[in-house]
Amino acid sequence: MTTVSDRPLPPLPDPASGADAEDDARPGEIAVPLPDAYDAGVFYIGRIGTPWTRRADCPRNARGSDAVCTIEVDERWAAALTGVETCTHLLVLYWMDRARRDLVVQAPRHSTGSRGTFALRSPVRPNPIAASVVRLVGIDGTRLSVVGLDCLDGTPLVDIKPYFASTDAVGDAVVGWHAGQSK
């Protein structure tokens, strides 16, 4: 039986080729060599279906689109979805598999100046794990329909958790460098 996780991913761009301008370092960016070995492993539990096949088309912010996307959970994890239908919102973790992993300082297009990777929400990071709070629209077996994702079609799914507004939202949280920018 072919599972969602067995679907091949699109080929990754070769950063050395320079064919993808988004892989070229911008002025003010710093790259470092990656470690020789991984410290842990991750099981992909499914794939995410979105209308976006190129990074340039993907919304910069998950709330920037009202597109209905699909989360296809591998059949082996079907029982783990028990109770999810009672949630209005979910926290979805996914692996930005087509992102660079070597930049420690980045020069975001939407901002002036450079910032450390850990001060940004960019997909470019040592472990390209992304998180989005999504609105659950419906469930059909192991397929979830959601609104609020900002990833490429075929992105590997890492985890799904219920979103608790009472404990997950921090109303007075501030990102100082961002707070001073004009919107």
Quote the Cα angle for 128-181-131, to 5°: 25
Q: Could you give the 3-state DSSP secondary structure of residue 13?
A: coil
Predicted structure pTM score: 0.79
- 130 burial level (CB within 10 Å; 0-12, 13-18, 19+): buried
Phi (first) and psi of residue 17, to 5 degrees? -75, -25
Q: How many whole angstroms separate alpha carbon 168 and alpha carbon 166?
A: 6
CATH number of 50-164: 2.40.30.70
Phi (first) and psi of residue 119, to 5 degrees? -100, 5
- Please say whether the beta carbons of 64 and 150 come within 8 A: yes
pLDDT tens column, 55-105: 888 888 778 789 999 999 999 999 999 999 999 999 999 999 999 999 999
**pLDDT above 90 covers what percent of the chain?**
52
- Please say whether the beta carbons of 108 and 122 come within 8 A: yes
